[in-house]
């Protein structure tokens, strides 16, 4: 029984507490609704900012890194052992300063060998040049001698031909003369025979008369003597004929001898002339010795040039044993020590130029059309968070990276104070567009709807009016608008949604630039 009574009391107490709490919540809700209604009926508090005439500057910001414009890898051109390398990372170096020396022993031997080769080639050339003129004179003298001999042989040949013709003519004249003598002898024989016949006829006639006694014996003797005389004359004529024939035969033989000897002499003279001409041609062919000599001298001169080229190459290799700094800068890497053997192209030191540095960033295509070489940009570095620096665009790569489709832009910054180091992280901003002296309001003052952009402008009665505007260029805080004038006040912030014609409450506060505003 007691247990039921106790349970009933507890239930009653709990129900009373619940009822009290419900009544309390209802009262609080009514109070809140009243406050809310009061607030809704009260003028909402807003922040206003006047429209200004200002420049709208559009910027683009990109991240990049600091780089050295010149980053040289010091490497040898020859194989050798390092004798000298005193520099370490961070050491400053000057242009032309010796950075590394390589053992020159083997290269020096090559230089001396090349010098000896040059001396030998020059000696051979000098020897050839000394004998060139005597050889040329000898060749020319021989040519002149042979040409003189050929002229003499040609003259002899002409003279032999003339002598032959003269001797032939003389021999033929002798033959003709003996033929004339033969003809005369024949005529004499004919005359002698006729005279002999006449003498014999007279003798026979006188002898017949003598037999008859009509003439004296003396007449017979005279007639007989006349016959004997005519016989002797006939014999003499016949003897002259034989002599003339013998003389003709001798003349003909002499003609044959002259003809044969003359032909032989002509052939011999012609042979001597041809031999002389051949000697001239042979002597002329010796002119080729002059050309060959000149070519030999040219070859020797080329040998001298080749030897000098080898010497220059050896001297160049000797110069390559000393590695010098190509610029003023700092050593940023050391990759070998004294005693190490290095090969051509093997990096020994790294030297970077830091009097100026590059800040390299990647920008999209549409930005590259709005920037140009020589344009300045603002650079901020994580190493100096409270400072900003100015760089000047030096390069705009005309080709985009095929993967990122970004264009590389490099700004140059003077680094006389050595504040910037390659590898630093940088943020760069460029001015890509500027609209001068335009009506501008804070960006948050502009609202958007299906019908376009609008603002809530504040009139003299502290009522807001929904005003449509045309927006233009904008920067990080401001946007240019059409449809307003400088000094017009617009709402930038409101605790509650605003209605056209609604009264608002304003107060004093700072605007975006730290100037006085209203709320």
Taking the CA of residue 118 as centre, how many other CA atoms within 13 Å lie in the half-sphere pointing to its CB?
Answer: 16
Of 303, 332, 350, the one marking the end of a domain is: 350
pLDDT at 518: 42
pLDDT at 39: 57
Task: Count the neighbouring beta carbons within 10 Å of the beta carbon of residue 35.
Answer: 10
Helix axes 287-319, 105-212, angle to 10 degrees: 180
Does 193 reside within a domain? Answer: yes
For 470, phi then psi, to 5°, come to -105, 120
- 3-class secondary structure per residue, 251-291: HHHHHHHHHHHHHHHHHHHHHHHHHHHHHHHHHHHCHHHHH
Asked whether residue 337 falls in the same domain as residue 459, the answer is no
Asked whether residue 249 falls in the same domain as residue 340, the answer is no
The whole-angstrom separation of Cα 18 and Cα 441 is: 56
State pLDDT tens for residues 399-423.
988 898 999 999 999 998 889 999 8
Strand partners, 439: 53
Residue 512's SS3 state is coil
Task: Count the neighbouring beta carbons within 10 Å of the beta carbon of residue 444.
Answer: 15
The whole-angstrom separation of Cα 115 and Cα 111 is: 6
Pair 46, 412: CB distance under 8 Å? no
Question: DSSP of 319-330, one letter per residue?
Answer: HTTEEE-SSSEE
Of 303, 331, 350, the one marking the end of a domain is: 350
DSSP, res 44? P
The whole-angstrom separation of Cα 147 and Cα 429 is: 95
Asked whether residue 88 falls in the same domain as residue 208, the answer is no
Asked whether residue 203 falls in the same domain as residue 329, the answer is no
pLDDT at 262: 75
Strand partners, 491: 48
Does 380 reside within a domain? Answer: no
Asked whether residue 175 falls in the same domain as residue 268, the answer is yes
484 token code pair: 């307003």
State pLDDT tens for residues 34-44.
666 555 556 77
Does 422 reside within a domain? Answer: no
pLDDT at 508: 45
Alpha helices by DSSP H, 71-104: none
The whole-angstrom separation of Cα 490 and Cα 440 is: 11
Q: pTM for the full model?
A: 0.49
The whole-angstrom separation of Cα 95 and Cα 68 is: 16
Does 384 reside within a domain? Answer: no
pLDDT at 1: 54
pLDDT at 351: 92
Asked whether residue 191 falls in the same domain as residue 259, the answer is yes
Beta-carbon contacts of 106 under 8 Å, excluding residues fewer than 6 positions away, are 80
Residue 283's SS3 state is helix
Measure Cα distances from 307 to 105, 121, 292, 303, 395 in Å: 21, 7, 22, 6, 47
Does 410 reside within a domain? Answer: no
**Which residue carries 């041609």 as its tokens?**
281
Does 62 reside within a domain? Answer: no
b/e map 350-367, b = 16+ CB within 10 Å? bbbbbebbbbbbbbeeeb
Beta-carbon contacts of 225 under 8 Å, excluding residues fewer than 6 positions away, are none
Beta-carbon contacts of 499 under 8 Å, excluding residues fewer than 6 positions away, are 464
Strand ranges for 180-336 from DSSP E? 322-324, 329-334
Asked whether residue 144 falls in the same domain as residue 207, the answer is yes
Asked whether residue 272 falls in the same domain as residue 216, the answer is yes
Q: What is the pLDDT along the chain (519 residues), one digit of tens a residue?
A: 556 666 666 777 777 777 777 777 777 777 676 666 555 556 777 888 888 888 888 888 999 999 998 889 999 988 999 999 999 988 999 999 999 999 998 888 888 998 998 898 888 888 877 775 665 556 566 667 777 777 877 888 788 788 777 778 877 777 787 788 788 878 888 887 888 788 888 878 887 877 887 777 787 777 788 878 878 877 887 788 788 788 878 777 877 887 787 778 778 878 877 887 777 776 666 655 566 667 778 888 888 899 899 989 888 888 888 999 998 889 989 999 998 999 999 999 999 888 889 999 999 988 888 899 999 999 999 989 999 999 999 999 999 888 989 999 999 999 988 899 998 999 999 888 888 888 888 988 888 888 888 988 888 888 888 888 888 888 878 888 888 888 888 888 877 778 888 888 775 444 444 443 443
Question: Which among 41, 49, 61, 3 has a CA at the least distance from the CA of 380?
Answer: 61
Task: Count the neighbouring beta carbons within 10 Å of the beta carbon of residue 241.
Answer: 19
Measure Cα distances from 162 to 29, 260, 511 in Å: 166, 15, 137
Question: Which among 244, 237, 243, 242 has a CA at the least distance from the CA of 177?
Answer: 244
pLDDT at 8: 67
Asked whether residue 94 falls in the same domain as residue 113, the answer is no
Does 8 reside within a domain? Answer: no
Question: DSSP of 105-130, one letter per residue?
Answer: HHHHHHHHHHHHHHHHHHHHHHHHHH
Burial zone of 498 (CB within 10 Å; 0-12 exposed, 13-18 middle, 19+ buried): middle
Does 286 reside within a domain? Answer: yes
Task: Give the structural domain span for 332.
Answer: 74-102+321-350
CATH number, domain with residue 95 = 2.40.50.100
Beta-carbon contacts of 234 under 8 Å, excluding residues fewer than 6 positions away, are 189, 192, 193, 195, 196
Instruction: Say how many domains are in the chain.
Output: 3
464 token code pair: 């807001």
362 token code pair: 């990647």
Measure Cα distances from 78 to 25, 317, 375, 381, 448 in Å: 95, 7, 45, 42, 72
């Amino acid at each position: 029984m007691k247990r039921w009574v106790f349970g009933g009391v507890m239930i009653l107490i709990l129900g009373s507490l619940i009822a009290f709490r419900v009544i309390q919540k209802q009262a609080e809700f009514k109070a809140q609704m009243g406050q809310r209604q009061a607030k809704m009926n009260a003028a909402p508090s807003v922040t206003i900012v006047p429209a200004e005439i200002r420049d709208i500057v559009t910027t683009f910001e990109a991240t990049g890194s600091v780089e050295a414009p010149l980053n040289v890898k010091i490497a040898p051109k020859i194989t050798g052992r390092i004798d000298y390398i005193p520099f370490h990372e961070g050491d400053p170096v000057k242009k032309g300063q010796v950075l590394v020396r390589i053992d020159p022993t083997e290269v020096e031997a090559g230089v001396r060998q090349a010098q000896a080769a040059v001396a030998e080639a020059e000696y051979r050339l000098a020897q050839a040049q000394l004998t060139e003129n005597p050889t040329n004179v000898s060749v020319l003298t021989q040519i002149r001698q042979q040409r003189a001999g050929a002229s003499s042989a040609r003259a002899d040949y002409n003279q032999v031909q003339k002598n032959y013709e003269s001797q032939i003519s003389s021999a033929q004249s002798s033959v003709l003369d003996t033929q004339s003598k033969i003809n005369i002898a024949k005529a004499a024989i004919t005359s002698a025979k006729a005279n002999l016949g006449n003498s014999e006829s007279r003798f026979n006639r006188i002898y017949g008369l003598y037999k008859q006694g009509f003439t004296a014996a003396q007449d017979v003797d005279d007639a007989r003597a006349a016959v004997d005389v005519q016989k002797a004359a006939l014999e003499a004529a016949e003897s002259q004929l034989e002599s003339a024939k013998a003389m003709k035969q001798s003349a003909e033989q002499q003609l044959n001898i002259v003809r044969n000897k003359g032909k032989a002499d002509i052939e011999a003279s012609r042979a001597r002339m041809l031999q002389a001409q051949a000697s001239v041609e042979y002597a002329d062919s010796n002119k080729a010795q002059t050309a060959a000599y000149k070519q030999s001298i040219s070859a020797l001169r080329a040998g001298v040039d080749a030897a000098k080229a080898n010497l220059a190459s050896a001297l160049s290799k000797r110069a390559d044993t000393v590695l010098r700094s190509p610029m003023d800068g700092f050593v940023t890497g050391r990759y070998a020590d004294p005693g190490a053997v290095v090969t051509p192209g093997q990096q020994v030191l790294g030297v970077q130029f830091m009097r100026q540095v590059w800040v390299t960033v990647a920008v999209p295509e549409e930005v590259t059309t709005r920037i140009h070489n020589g344009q300045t940009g603002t650079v901020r570095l994580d190493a100096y968070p409270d400072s900003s620096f100015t760089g000047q665009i030096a390069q705009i790569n005309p080709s985009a990276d095929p993967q990122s489709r970004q264009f590389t832009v490099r700004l140059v910054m003077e680094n006389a104070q050595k504040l910037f180091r390659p590898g630093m992280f940088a943020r760069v901003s460029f001015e890509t567009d500027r609209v001068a002296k335009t009506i501008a309001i804070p960006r948050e003052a502009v609202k958007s709807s299906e019908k376009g952009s609008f603002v809530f402008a504040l009139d003299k009665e502290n009522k807001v009016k929904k005003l449509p505007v045309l927006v233009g260029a904008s920067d990080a805080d401001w946007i240019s608008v059409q449809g307003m004038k400088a000094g017009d006040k617009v709402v930038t912030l409101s605790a509650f949604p605003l209605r056209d014609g609604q009264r608002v409450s304003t107060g004093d506060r700072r605007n975006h630039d730290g100037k006085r505003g209203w709320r």
